[in-house]
Chain A
Amino acid sequence: MKYVRYTTLALALSAGSLSVHAQESATTDIGTTDAAKLGKSFPAKPPYSPYAGRNFPTRPFFGDTHLHTSYSMDAGAFGCRLTPADALRFARGEEVTSSSGQPARLSRPLDFLVVADHSDNMGFFPDFFAGKAELLADPTGRKWYDMMQNGQGAQAALEIIGAFSQGKFPPALVYAPGTRPYHSAWLATIEANEKYNEPGRFTALIGYEWTALDKGNNLHRNVIFRDNGDKASMVDPFTCIPPQGSTNPLDLWKWMAAYEAKTGGSVLAIAHNGNLSNGTMFPVEEAFGKKLDSAYCAERAKWERLYEATQTKGDGEAHPFLSPTDEFANFERWDKGNLDGSQAKTKAMLEFEYARSALENGLKLEAKLGVNPYKFGLIGSSDAHNGLAAMEEENFFGKTTPQEPSPERINATFMNNPKTGVTIRDWEVSASGWAAVWANENTRESIWDAMQRKETYATTGTRMVVRFFGGYDFEATDAADRMPARIGYTKGVPMGGDLHAAPAGKSPTFLVAALKDPIGANLDRIQVIKGWLDAQGNVQEKIYDVAWGDAEKRKPGADGKLPSVGSTVDVGNATWSNTIGDPELITVWKDPAFDPALRAFYYVRVIEIPTPRWTAYDAKRFGVKPPAEAAMTVTERAYTSPIWYTPAK
């Protein structure tokens, strides 16, 4: 297929060569029958519709893989009243009343949601009516049922509770064959997911959070099912309290393997908040007293396909101590201590906490042990504990119920451990983020499969579109094509993929493109971040600015540094304008320093122009004075899953 270099409209107009022409009438009609006819007759021309037969994802689906409701012990204790069903309704775009009594609604619906409540203490509740048939067969049950049908539901409920607590509940109802004396919050969660899952429109993936805490260090993972409720309900979620549970990820992976073996289903796990793990999230030497071996690496790579790189409790892509020349690394940083603040952070811990250093150390481990345990893709999610996936800066409902919008929250304290002096203020909580998934369809299977192949990216709350393809044959003209995705999939692999042995004399080339959020801010720049293992076995990284906004007047200086895009933010009024930056950026980039003998990975970071942070909206709307040290602007961003290069053996 021939790809033509397309010119912009302005050029076309000035050249007077606007290539607008009438097609033959036979080809103007788009329809499946026509396309089929054309296909059968092997036409010289391709079908009119360039999309016919297209089998790659055309738009990313945005969602949250990590949302808590009142079914989480801590969320409920903090006052969350919203159930999984409420959370799903909200994510679908419905207005709900938050636990603090405020009406809440998203600017636009999400495409998918994972209610991921903590598995520990999720709870069992008396199940009075597991079997409706038994209820109707029993005289007392029948009486209650009739009361409910006659509008005396409240009275019936009282009688039922009273009967139960006094041991006078008709045994036939509780212990009828095939019924269960208790139903768990887990089953209730599954039921809500089944109700609100609507293939093609909104996906409710079944999941939970395994909340492993080792001496206050965060080792949490979210477990996400590909399957429907019939399979997911065959198991109970894995917990942390022994002997049933464990805080060692090895045991979680065993649980996952047991689930798959038993049900024929599929699960994956997503770790998060390495920044609160005090150096234990991405170990390189040992874990739980055992030296890392190739089995550990293989299991981790198999089950932990993605990493949650950004969320309310801080950003986890990179740290300025580890990447001192990265001017964008100091972003929504939470590096004071571990999860409960029981141990303060030391610099030596940082290397084992952040996504970028883990990706780098993964190369090292692969060279040493033969398997890269940290070959993960990236997503962002909220970890909100109020049932509200509301991560928009101007519509941020906070991380917990007490942190829902109020004049007080900007000056409140999120956590304070007097022993260690670790204090985190509420203003530090980040309105972040989303998981963007390049799936063919908005269904459980399609979204899960895209997660499994890591065709995902993280955003800090924006819904920008990011494409990233790697191959050996991309040319500059590919960036001018009107359908970059078609070229991308034809000539390369998408984000999350692998580049194998380079053809002699060739370097990896990348087609990379970003389109702003339709209701969000313009784009500052696209960066490719390369990490590699040098000939001495040391990890290296380099950040390339590959495309940027206002390019006609914004040129890198003598030092190669791109000048700042500037800022239009009026903090006092919480406004900004899209008069700087570009709505769309696209380019083909070739690694200028490629060594085919060295392992490497490449991922993309897209930075938006500065916009008001949620703190600025709060200060404006509530007329409150923020703490002097509070960040009031934010540069929203996206991180793609890497593309890995592995040399031939």
Chain B
Amino acid sequence: MRRILKEPLLHFLVFGAALFLAYGLLQRNGGSREPGQIVVTLGQIEQMAAGFAKTWQRPPTTEELAGLVRDRVREEVYCREAMALGLDREDTVIRRRLRQKMEFVSDDVAALAEPTEAELEEYLRTHADAFRVEPRFTFNQVYLDPQKHGADLASDAAKLRAQLEHAGAGADLSTLGDSRMLEPQYTDLPLGDVAQQFGEPFSKALDGLAVGRWQGPVESGYGVHLVYVRERAEGHTPVLSDVREAVRREWDNARRIAANEAFYTELLKSYTVQIEGLDDTGKAK
């Protein structure tokens, strides 16, 4: 980009456009009303050209740049006239945009804060749940559709469980159960993924199952399951070095919210607010 801006050709174009513009303004300078002065600076033209180049991956042609400049002048004229007429006042869109710009500034300021190691440690300690490494499970499951088994569901499940217990860990599951979309085995699945695929009641139940034997029926959003947990990797609270990026991200976010709130509170201090029809505490008079 910087290289583009240093192109002699570009400088020539910019200069040409500026001349063109100045000439145009002089030509129009004939009315009785004292004209306002509009100066499109080289810096602004450079910025327009850079914006164009960033969109199109090439510098603008002479005509394109002249078009951008003409448009800029038109925008400037309209903006000044509109503001002179007070059209910027009581405009929801403009007001919200201005508020948003203030928030951008305040975000910027908040983003400058550098946490100390101790602050991050403290944040991790006080928000341990948010950073907990989930337990992971490798398990087999056999699904029974309650609608298919009706009143026999419990006894069918009990019978099947007895058979599975007999077969143990090596039970061939390829013919069992009522589902062909749910898999007989899930490997190293984080608890959250289990919840995504089976619903939360099932994942909660799974978290409580012992390893190494057939258990169930366990209920899910689909029906009931017999489950064999093969492996369980325990969840734990990580040390900071393992989750520094995430802690920093959350710390930044918390800091940003607090800073913005403080900023607003500070600004508010320089105003007295009176709301007609309401008393100081916000209650109707």
Contacts and interface: CB of A to CB of B under 8 A. Distances in A.
Contacts, number: 227
Contacts of B112: 129, 132, 135, 145, 148
A482 B110 contact: no
A329 B76 CA distance: 50
B14 to A, nearest CB: 16
Interface string A506-536: 0000000111111110000000000000000
B184 A482 contact: yes
- Interface size of B as a range: 35 or more
Contacts of A481: 180
B181 interface: yes
Interface string B183-225: 1110100001001111110100000000000000000111100
A30 B101 CA distance: 57
B237 interface: no
A13 B253 contact: no
Interface in B107-123: 108-114
Contacts of A242: 67
Contacts of B79: none
A89 B199 CA distance: 21
A490 interface: no
Nearest to B187: A51
Contacts of B223: 583
A51 B67 CA distance: 61
A404 B111 CA distance: 30
A49 B57 contact: no
A584 interface: yes
A23 B172 CA distance: 8
Contacts of B253: 85, 89
Contact of B181 (A30, A132, A235, A515): A515
A89 B253 CA distance: 10
A465 B196 CA distance: 12
Contacts of B145: 582-584
Contact of A482 (B52, B175, B195): B175
A22 B113 contact: no
A396 B266 CA distance: 36
A236 B48 CA distance: 12
B177 A583 contact: no
Chief secondary structure at chain B's binding surface = helix
A243 B67 contact: yes
Contacts of A125: 101, 104-105
Interface stretch (B32-40, B82-90, B92-100, B274-282): B92-100
Given A22-B167, A158-B266, A126 B105 contact: yes
A51 B177 CA distance: 18
Contacts of B156: 9-10, 13
Contacts of B221: 516-520
B102 interface: yes
Interface in A45-94: 48-51, 58-59, 70, 73, 76-77, 79, 85, 89
B164 A513 contact: no
Contacts of B167: 20-22
B244 interface: no
B180 A484 contact: yes
Interface stretch (A253-261, A294-302, A364-372): A253-261
B13 to A, nearest CB: 14
B271 interface: no
A501 B170 CA distance: 44
A23 B167 CA distance: 8
Given A20-B166, A153-B263, A484 B181 contact: yes
A244 B142 CA distance: 60
B58 interface: yes
Interface residues of A, number: 93
Contact of A153 (B93, B109, B144): B109
Interface string A483-496: 11000000000000
B180 A513 contact: yes
A195 interface: yes
Contact of A161 (B102, B149, B262): B102
From A73, A89, A196, A518, name the one whose CB has the most chain B CB atoms within 10 angstroms: A518
Nearest to A583: B222
A404 to B, nearest CB: 16
A28 B170 contact: yes
A6 interface: yes
Given A13-B159, A109-B192, A148-B113, A153 B259 contact: yes
A153 B178 contact: no
Contacts of B180: 6, 479-484, 513, 584, 586
Given A89-B253, A515-B182, A255 B222 contact: no
A261 B175 contact: no
Nearest to A191: B111
Contacts of A49: 185, 187
B171 interface: yes
Interface string A237-259: 11100111100000000010011
A225 to B, nearest CB: 15
A153 B113 contact: yes
B185 A148 contact: no
Contacts of A237: 55
Interface in B146-181: 147-149, 156, 159-160, 163-164, 166-181
A243 B68 contact: yes
Contact of A582 (B147, B172, B175, B183): B147
B143 to A, nearest CB: 9
B265 interface: yes
26 contacts: A4-B175, A7-B175, A9-B149, A10-B148, A20-B172, A23-B170, A27-B170, A70-B100, A73-B93, A109-B192, A128-B109, A129-B108, A153-B263, A154-B266, A156-B109, A195-B249, A198-B246, A243-B60, A243-B67, A244-B55, A480-B180, A513-B180, A517-B221, A518-B222, A584-B178, A584-B180
Closest 10 pairs between A and B when the two form their complex, measured CB to CB: A23-B170, A518-B221, A154-B266, A515-B181, A518-B199, A20-B167, A236-B54, A243-B67, A258-B57, A262-B57
Interface of B: 51-52, 54-58, 60, 64, 67-68, 71, 92-93, 96-97, 100-102, 104-106, 108-114, 138, 142, 144-145, 147-149, 156, 159-160, 163-164, 166-185, 187, 192, 195-200, 202, 220-223, 230, 246, 249, 253, 259, 262-263, 265-267
Given A109-B196, A258-B57, 9 more contacts: A6-B180, A7-B175, A9-B176, A13-B156, A20-B167, A24-B170, A160-B109, A235-B57, A518-B199
